[in-house]
Every structure is written in structure tokens, then in C-alpha cells.
Structure 1
């Protein structure tokens, strides 16, 4: 009962800004954290600013994993925090040396108007550049003797695109009272040369992940970047989404470039997460993954045009028995791939927590053959099977199986074929299932939901969440 009482008192204290000058001078340092959290929760901008400006500890962490039901700080509160950090550089009461904002950014326009990744990146970089300019003005005006000698390290996740690249480059290349450090960087729609310039500016230690999206790299461009990535000793996550790596087309020298790519991937000694989306590399999974020095824990391969040979390699590879998260979405599975998928699930059964087989063309027959292997994954927390051509009978068999999997908390299932309007092809693709209109009668969908809910209720699994909505699901659970 102590913490709720502290939080209640903190809320009352920060609510009256007129009295802040009185209580700030006598508040013990251990109460600054609950006071700041109360100021964030209740959007008390002036209280945020005054607390941060005289922060009594070496480190201030804002962001990261939030408690259940806790919302991220409002963007106005984040702006007030950043302004206060700059003011605190000249405030002798401020002991701040490390500002950790990793994990703070949210989706733009989310609940409570949090600050999105691009907005936070621009605001941070602006703060770093302005702090340097302010320090130079103070130096000219007051001399070196009057300046605070401590450099504040600012740790954050950055989102860099063509609109923010110049600002980010200026901040990373700035020497001043604020030093920008990066944990995860996401790059969108930049050329290979611009991404290379960005990597040159990032500090070598501290970078854990790189996400390159919607950038026209090609295999040759990626081969140029991988040697630079190998210079970051802690890099554990590499994500490449829609980067135009397509070797379905016969292009001279591309096979050799792919071998070079594999060789440099092998230089990433700490790599544990590899995500490749829509790279269209059929038949080359062995070449890509066999060079890795350590088994992967997260492997995401959606829209990769995987072949039965690729799946056969993966099921026998060292990665199979260490995978905690696997995404094979939009790779069409058939009878020829079934033995490999079953073997893969068997190898991963002891560690696999999150599995997505959405849009894989899984029919009732294929599902029936996969269910015994799925049920052996006793630690599975989330399962995605959306956009597969299943009937109501197939869905009922699926739910009867998953309710006996004690760790499972979330199932994303497809709308059954019976719920669509007439005219759907006998073996529809995931794109057809996505675009084809559902039956206009609400009773049709409700009947399906009632049948599935009845199975869950009769099993006593109140902790299992079922949804056919592609967007309405708990992303936090998937990322755990």
C-alpha cells in the first residue's frame, strides 16, 4: 500500500504549480521519480520541466517497457522534458549525466497523443544542436570557468528518413554538452550511400539493432553496407524490409554478390534476430543462414518465396532448436513442404513462443496434419493463422487444439470460407481472402464467433484471446 499512497500524494503535489517553488527545495531525491511520473500522467508540463531541470540523480530513464495500463508520456510533456534538459546544463543543482529515452517513441497519433518515432528523432536532434549553440554563446559571454563540465549522454532509438537525415547527421556530428547515442536505428527510403554515411556517424558501442525499410538497396547495396555493420560489436538485430533484393531475375554477378552477402552476415557475431521481408530469395536460405556463427532466436521470413528445399534446410539447421519467434507468413505451404514444417516445429517445440503462419495457403487438410506438431509447442504464447482458407469445421478443430496449450494467450484466426460472399475461388490466395467481401449478414459472422467462444468457455480458458481482426490484437504480447 506504500506505493499507491506515494503516487496519490505525488499527484496532489504536482497539481498545484503555484506551490512548486516551495516544495522543490525540500523534496528528498528519492521522491523525484514518483513526482515526475505523476507529472507525466497528469500532463503537468511546468512540473515536468522544473523536476528535470534540477534532476538529482546521474541517470534519468523515460520510456522502455511500461507497466500494464500505463500510457506513454504526452508529446507536450516530452517537449517540456527536452527543454528542461537543456536548461539543466547550466543549473548547478542538476546532476544528470545520462538521459535514456530508448523505447519512448510510439505510433504517431496514438492514444493520449504520444510522440512518434520521427517526431522524437527530430526533436532530439534539434535539442542537441541547440545545446551546442547555447554552450558556445555562454562560453563567449561568461568564459570556460562558468560552464558545467559534465557531458550528458542522450540514449535513444532513432527513425531516419529523407526528411530527418540532415538534422540527424548534424546532431551526430556535433561536439557539445549533449552527446547523442543510438540503441536502435530505423532507416526508411534512403540510398545505400546515405545509410553508409549514417552508420559512419553512429558510435560503435551501444548500437543493438538496425532496421532498413523501403530502401532500394539490391544485393550489391547490401554487400556494401554489411562490412560497416560488422564494425558494431553489440549488433544483435538486423531487419531488412522491402529493400529490392530480388534474385528471381537473372542478373549478371548477383550470385557472387549473394555469397559475399552471406560471408559478411557471418561477421555479425552477436546477431540473434534476422528479419527479411519481401526479398524474394527462393532456394538461397542455406547460403544466407549457414554462415552465421551463432543460432538465431528470432527469424522473420514473410513474403520470401521459400521453397521446400529452404524449409528442409531450416528444419535441420542449428537455428531450429533455438528459435523463440518464427514468422513464415505469405510463404505458400503445400504437401511437399509439410514434412519439413512438422520437423521444424518439433525441433523448436522447447523454445518457440511466437509463430506466424498467416497467408500460407493452409487448408483444412494441411491444418489437420500440422495440429499434432503445433500442440507439442507447449511454450507457445501467440499463434497467427490469418488469411488461410479454412472452413468453420477446420477452425473448430484448431480451437479445440489450442485450448489445450496452456501457455497460449493469443490466436489470430482467419475468417472461415463460409463467411465470404459467393464466388470465392475454391483455393483462394491470401490476397483474394483479404479483398473478397464478407457476407453482409452480421448473423453469419456472429454464428462463427459464438461457436469458437463456446469451445473456449467450455475449456475454462478465460486467459485465451481469439481474434480474426488483422489490426486488433495485442502487439505487446507478440513482442514479449
Structure 2
């Protein structure tokens, strides 16, 4: 703190300050809110990246204003100051290793996490015409923006030609649609790699948002959740086409999650036809799917390499018996995680998928909680899955014999079923742990408790 007792002296010394002392001085100026020093240090920052977000546990408007004031001075200059190599302002919660390393903390830092003091392939004395990049993680919620985000957005909007606002992770939960569109108009959408949209939008609102999604050509992970289609809309079919057609532009998409997106009922094939490359993970949960939807899903070429499949909450009780086995056969060679919770699966349907399930040799996680299964079928299931070499996490429902005729869990019956399941594991003859859960309840769907109990057979263990 000695140098910062006199801010004017600290600022005048920056030209001669050794590079390795910059981070430590910046941290002290940050913690002591020496805004003029921060402003000056930005103009002389000798590293490619300034990971400011790594210092802020909570967004701090005063610090942001000081840093942006410093950037304004830089942007107004034709020639970049001799020492300044700054190209990226990072406001994400990253960069902690950088600050620890330069503060002298005894921490082992990988070479990939270090910030280089000299920009590669950039002139040392003159600013290139490439815009400065500002990285943020956008979480859009509430009716209005908080002060930190609002200030940043105004600053970016006034300097569009000089600033690229980059966002790797975008999360939209709630905000008037027009406000969302205005914010996204300032973001370099081709930088976005992960998108989560959890809004009760009507289909028409989602159709307006869809072209922006199409511009996110590098998105790898997409979640759409809780789209509101309770009210019928005149152009519903047209809106579905506008939405699904944007998937043609998502050439990097690997993981797709659709949660309570009821507009896909009966037209899932429209979206599947627009997938341009094989998916790694597909989650379609708590949605209504027709037999036609499930048929198209099992025939889709771009799911044949799935590592993760989640159909939890999709009612399969009345689906054609060959559809789910056909889907599992399609993905058996690569599937590692399978979720079939609360699908209304009964004994006959589970028996139908057992041959396909036993071919999923890469499977390491399997959950089928909240379904209606008897002890006899669970016995068969455990026998079929015992040959899967990678399977290490198994979550099963409480057997139906544990419930009364009114659907009430009987703890005495449950204890008896657990003892029988342990005997089945012993008969199969190799160490194994399975988890039996009455949550969610197959009768009412309620979460009765959150910690399923394991049944373990193996050395030095007991049930």
C-alpha cells in the first residue's frame, strides 16, 4: 500500500514499473478503490488480457467505471502507449490463477492459464484496428438490468465500432422480449457457445428470438425450457418452422436439451431434419411426444452417436412397444448415460427394452426412477445389466410390492424388497451397488425424499 499512499506518484511511476509488479499493484488499487490509479494502469497494462472478473466476487460498478474510463483514453489514441498490450477485458469469474501467480501465492499454475506479457503477432508500438474484446457471462433476468450490466451496455452501445462484446455463456430467464433483443444486438453472437433459455414465452416470441439463435453459429450446448403454448396462436405451424429451421445454422451443436417444450408434439421430425451434425447429448424431458415423434427420433441419423440420452417425464405408457427398444439399439454402441425417470414405464415395456439395454456396453449411468416395476422384472433387469462392464451408477424405483393398494409406501414391505434385491446381487456374484429411490413417487409424482438408499454387495460392505 506504500506506493498507493500517493496516487499521483504511483501513476507517474507506471512507465518504469517492472511488469511483474503490475498485477500486485493493480490488486492493491482494486481493493483500496484507487480509481485514478486503476484508470491509469489500464492504459499501461503490459498483458494481453485483463481478467478483472477474477477479482470481483460481486459486480462492482465503481471499479468497472474506472477501468472503462481508462479504456476510453486508449480508444481515443491513434497510437497505443508503448507498454500497453491490452486486447481483452475479461469480466467473467475467471483468471484467479493469474492473480494468485503474480501475487506470489504458492499455487501450481498450468502454462495454459498464464497471461502472456507480450501480445503474439501484434505490433508493439501501434494499436491495430481490431476492436477491443470484452468478455462477459450474460445472465438476463428480472424486468430491468442491474446497474453494472446497464452501465456496461450503454458504454458498449456508444462504442460499437471499437468494442466487441463477447459472451461464451448466455442465460435468459425472464425479461421483456424487447429488452432481451436490445441486449443481444450488442453481443457478438458468433462467440456464444452455451445458451440456456428458460422463459414462459409464447410461440410467437420464441419465433422472433429464433433468428438470433441462428446467428450463434458456434453454439455447442443449447437448452430451451418451459415455452408457453397454452394459448392457441393463428400461425402456430409457421412459428414452428421459423424456430426449427434455425437449427440448420447450428453446425457446432453437440448437446441439446428440450424441457417442457410442448410445441414439438407431433412435429419433432421438423427439428430433427434440421440437425446438421451428430449430437453427443440429447435431452427431451417433460414433453408430450407422439408415436410419430418417437419413430422419427429412432430413425434420425444424427443421434446414432449419442453419449447421453434423457427422456425423463416423457410418457411412454401408451407408445408402441417397439419404439423405445429401436431407439436404444440405435445408440447402443456409444451410449454412456441413460435417464428414463417418470416415463410411466411398466413391466411389459421394461422387458421389451432389456435385450437392447444389455447391448449398451459403454453405459456407466442408468436411472429409471419413478416408474411402475415389480420385483420379478427388476430381477430380470439386474441380470441383463450385470454384464455391462462400465455401469457404476444405477438408480431404480422402489418395487411396486412396497406400496399398499392405495399407493402408500409401506416401510416393512420396502425392507423386505431390499433384502430380496441384495440376495439377487449376491447370486449374480460380483461387487455392485444399486440405489433404490421412492422419489419421485410413481403414483403421485411427488419428491418424497432426496437421498435414495444404496444396496451394496461386495467386500467390506453391507446393505
TM-score range, shorter chain: 0.5 to 0.7
Please, which of 192, 196, 206 is the counterpart of residue 211 of structure 1?
196
In the superposition, the TM-score normalised over structure 2's length comes to 0.67
- How far off is 1:316 after superposition? 0.8
Q: 1:438 — aligned with what? A: 409
Larger Rg: 2
- How far off is 1:347 after superposition? 0.9
Give SS of 1:329's match: coil
- How far off is 1:101 after superposition? 9.9
Matched, 1:201 2:186: yes
Quick one: distance in 1 between partners of 2:66 and 2:420?
60
Please, which of 461, 464, 476 is the counterpart of residue 431 of structure 2?
461
Quick one: distance in 2 between partners of 1:89 and 1:399?
67
Quick one: distance in 2 between partners of 1:421 and 1:181?
57
For residues 51-450 of structure 1, the aligned pairs below 5 Å read 53=27, 90=41, 96-98=47-49, 123=59, 128-133=64-69, 148=84, 150-154=86-90, 155=135, 157-162=137-142, 165-166=145-146, 167-174=148-155, 181-213=166-198, 215-245=199-229, 250-280=232-262, 281-334=264-317, 336-424=319-407, 437-439=408-410, 441=411, 443-450=412-419
Contact 2:49 2:86 in 1 (8 A): no
Contact 2:317 2:346 in 1 (8 A): no
CA RMSD of aligned residues (A): 4.1
In the superposition, the TM-score normalised over structure 1's length comes to 0.65
Quick one: distance in 2 between partners of 1:101 and 1:210?
23
Quick one: distance in 1 between partners of 2:42 and 2:153?
24
- How far off is 1:198 after superposition? 2.5
Quick one: distance in 1 between partners of 2:362 and 2:74?
58
Structure 1 152/446 Cα, relative in aligned 2: closer, same or farther at 3 Å? Answer: farther
Give SS of 1:275's match: strand
Structure 1 87/264 Cα, relative in aligned 2: closer, same or farther at 3 Å? Answer: same
Quick one: distance in 2 between partners of 1:129 and 1:387?
52
Quick one: distance in 2 between partners of 1:125 and 1:391?
59
- Aligned positions, number: 367
- How far off is 1:91 after superposition? 8.5
Give SS of 2:224's match: strand
Question: Unpaired runs of 5+ in structure 2?
Answer: 1-19, 91-134, 441-449, 453-463
Contact 1:169 1:198 in 2 (8 A): no
Question: Unpaired runs of 5+ in structure 1?
Answer: 1-28, 33-48, 55-78, 105-114, 425-436, 474-480
- How far off is 1:286 after superposition? 0.6
Contact 1:96 1:152 in 2 (8 A): no
Quick one: distance in 2 between partners of 1:124 and 1:394?
58
Give SS of 2:325's match: helix
- How far off is 1:366 after superposition? 1.3
Quick one: distance in 1 between partners of 2:293 and 2:325?
14
